[in-house]
Amino acid sequence: MKAAVFYEPHTPLRVEKTPTPEPKADEILVKVAACGLCHTDLHYIDHGIPTAKQPPVILGHEASGRVVQVGGDAQGFKPGDRVLLPAILTCGRCPACRSGRENICQRLVMFGNDIDGAFAEYVVAPAKDVFILPDVIPLIEGCVIADAVTTPYHAVKNRAEVRPGDTVVVYGCGGVGLNVVQFAHLAGGVVIAVDIAEEKLEWARRFGASETLNPTQIPDVSRAIRKLTGGGADIAIEASRFQRLTARRTPSGGGLQRS
């Protein structure tokens, strides 16, 4: 198969022929339809952030495709199924997994970091971690759901627990941040979006933000938020590309907090 292989930072990926992976008994082989380009991939390429697997390594962890081969012990899939691969694979046995917090699995394995990813024609994955993609979701456009959509959904739904009427400030309106805006709006939140790029703030308004703030155009963002909310926001979510996505509900009666 052909794959885009990462060898070292600050050099282009090399498109070359590599062996097509063989699925183990509990795995499926997927023909990749699309794989999103994440800033994590750019960190490896542009900034020298090391991958767990020593290069050469195939990057890419936001993949969708069709099943072409099913291992003997893999359940629930057949050739031709449209599927979505997760960004990370979990063990299912550690305390975090057993308590429903697989996102912090103690033995997690990430595509394009710990193991070869999906910047390739084919990729294998454990059947237990793969999802059927509904026909109403386009196969190519749906590839980013596994990372850029599920991550903000978890932040809004499970961590911040946004409820109708909550005031939610979203810092950073890139790909993840805009999905935070959408989910917070859909949850009934009143969203204030903050970014230094006007085109991103325009997208935030389209996706449900009630107010937008550009720190380069106002002297004090915190004061502006207090003025808009009458005292402070209920929830702040940091989604800039320079920070890990975090969410926190502010104390009752308190002002804005950043997590």
Cα-Cα-Cα-Cα dihedral sign, residues 65, 71, 72, 73: negative
Is 134 inside a domain boundary? yes
Please, are residues 239 and 171 in contact by the beta-carbon 8 Å criterion? yes
Is 258 inside a domain boundary? no
* Alpha-helix runs per DSSP H in the chain: 39-47, 95-98, 150-154, 175-186, 198-206, 221-229
CATH of the domain at 54: 3.90.180.10
Examine the domain organization and report whether 121 and 63 are in the same domain.
yes
CATH of the domain at 207: 3.40.50.720
Q: What is the pTM of this model?
A: 0.81
Distance in angstroms (rounded) separating the CA atoms of residues 35 and 15 = 15
Examine the domain organization and report whether 109 and 229 are in the same domain.
no
Is 153 inside a domain boundary? no
Domain boundary among 115, 145, 175: 145
Q: What is the mean pLDDT of residues 167-186?
A: 95
Task: Indicate the pLDDT class of residue 248, thresholds 50, 70 and 90.
Answer: low
pLDDT in tens, 91-139: 999 999 999 888 889 999 999 999 999 999 999 999 999 999 999 999 9
Examine the domain organization and report whether 24 and 84 are in the same domain.
yes
Domain boundary among 145, 176, 210: 145
Task: Say if strands 27-35 and 88-89 run parallel, antiparallel, or are unpaired.
Answer: unpaired
Number of domains forming the structure of the chain: 2
Strand partners, 213: 194
